[in-house]
Structure 1
C-alpha cells in the first residue's frame, strides 16, 4: 500500500459541510480494507488509529478537516489537541511542555535521558517530567525511546498516535552541544550532531506528514541557533553544531513549501536559555526557559498562520526573521546585481557586491 493512499482526503476524510452516517461508514470501511492489505507494522497502526479516530469524529459530529480552535474569552488555547515534544524531560523542552499543557493540550514527553555529553539513556527522565506536569494538573504522558534513526522516529510517531488517535503538533527540541575545533573534529561526532539536529526532525516530520495531511492541519517547529545564523555569534569549536543548525533552516524552508497546501505550517525557533547546556543546574536569574516558551507555543498553535519563519527568542523578547529576496529578481537569470566578467572586475566592485544589511528593528 502506498502512503499516498493514506493522504487522499477524498477517500479517507469527509470534508464537506455535512457529516452523514453513510459517509462516515464508507470511510471507515475503506480504512478497514486498507488494514487488511497493509504489510508493515507502521502502516497497520496508522490505519487502525485512523479507523478509531474517524469513528470518534463521527460519534461527536466533528467535521473534517480539523479546524483551528476558537479562543475562549479571547484567550488562545490548545484545547483537545495533542503535541509531541522531543527532549522535553527538562530544560527548554519541559518549559515548552508546561506552557502548551497549561493552554489545554495533552503533551507527549519524549526524552532519551542522556547525560550532559549526550551519552547513555534514562527513561525515568521522561517519566518524572510527565508525572510532574500531571501533579500540576496538566495532561501529560511520557513516550520513551530514541530518535537516532529513521525507523526509531517512525516508531515514535506510531506510538504517539496510538495514545489519543491524533497528533496536532510536533516540536523537535532535542539537541546536543559538542565542542571540537576544526583540527580535532571527528566524523562520528559530526554524524551524531547531524543525526539529532537534522535527520531526527526530518524523519519525525516524514512520519507525521500523512497524519497532518489527512487532517489538513499540522504544526511543526524545529530548533535552530543564532550561533549558525549570524557570524557575530559564531563560536570556536561549534563547527558541527552550526552546520547542523543551519541545515535545519533549509529543512524548514522546504517543508514549509511542501506543507502549506495541506495546512501544515513549519517554522523554526532559535531559543536562548540557561539550561544544562550552559552548565546551569539551578533556576537561572535571567534567560529563563519559561520566557522563551510563549513564542514556541504560538508557533505550535492553531492560531499561528505563518510558515517558513525563524523565531528568535530570549529573555522574554521575540523577533521573527527569514531571508527575503529583493524585488524584481528573476532567479537565477537576473539577480539585479553587479555585472562582472573578470576577477579584477569582481575585486573592483566588491564594496558594491558585499553589502551588509542589518535586521530592521
Structure 2
C-alpha cells in the first residue's frame, strides 16, 4: 500500500503588512487593528511602502511517500468428529510491515541509540537502505481459530468458539508525513519586531531588500540532535508489535413449542498491545516513591517539586501509577451476555425479542 501526499505550506512565501509600520508610538498604538476602527496607521500603506511586519517561507526537501505492506494466509477445515459433534479449525498468519518511506526520507528519535554528543541514550536517526525504520517487524503473527457445535438432542445445540487475530498498530499506519520527516523540511519565519517596546512598529523586513534567505539554512538537517530539545517523534523497536484481539463465545440454542427458538449466548473480546496516547514514557519508577532518601527530599518551590511523600504531591494525578501492564501493553477487555427469542410464523414472517447485558473496560 502507498500513501503519497504532502502539505507544502507556504513555499512561495507568506507576508503580513499591518498598521504598525505606518503608525506613531504612543498610548494610542495598535498593531494590526481592524478595518473601520480608529487605527493610528494603515496596513495598505505599509504594503505600498514595502514594510513587512511578519513573513514566512517554508522549504520542503522531502515529500510523503509512505509504503506499507500487509501479507496474510489462512487455512481452515471442518471435522465431523461424531454425528453430534462438528469442529471447525482454522489458522491465520499475518505479517504487518512497519511504514517506511520510498526515498528513505524518514527520521525518528530512537531511545536505544547512543547520543555521541551528550553520551546518553536517545538520538535522532535518519533512515538508510539498511535501516528504514526504528520499529522491528513482528514475525510471530499466528492467529488460531476454533469453533464447536454439539447437538445435545434434536432440539438443543451447544456452540462455542474462540479466535485470535491481529490488526495494524501505530507503526503500520501512515502518518502522512506529519511526524516522521523531521530534518527534511523547515518552517522559516520572521516575527514582528519588538525592540522598541511597541510590537510591529519597526518592520521585520522590507520588500526592497527582499526575503533574507541567507538567515535560514536549507534542509535537510541530518543531525542526531535535531529537535532533541523540542518534541521529536519517537519510534521504539517494540512498536512493530501489532495489537491483537481475542474473541470467544458460548451459546445454547433451543427449539421451543410453538415454533419459538431460544438463543442464549455469551460473547467476550479482549485487546492487547493497543495503540494508546497514555503510554507512560515519563512515568516515575514506583520504587522511588517508597525510597525514604528521595521521598523526603525537596526539589524546589513548585508543588510538582515537593517531596514525593507530601500529601499535596500524592494528590496530583501525575504521580498516580498508571494502570498499564508493561508485560502485555494496553488492554481493552469486553464481555457480553445476550438472550434472543425468535418465533417463526407461516411463510417468512418472524418476530424477534431479546435482552442483553454487557461490560467493558476502556484501554489502560
TM-score where L is the length of structure 2:
0.20
The structure richer in helix per residue is 1
Instruction: Specify the structure having the higher radius of gyration (Cα).
Output: 2
TM-score where L is the length of structure 1:
0.20
The structure richer in strand per residue is 2
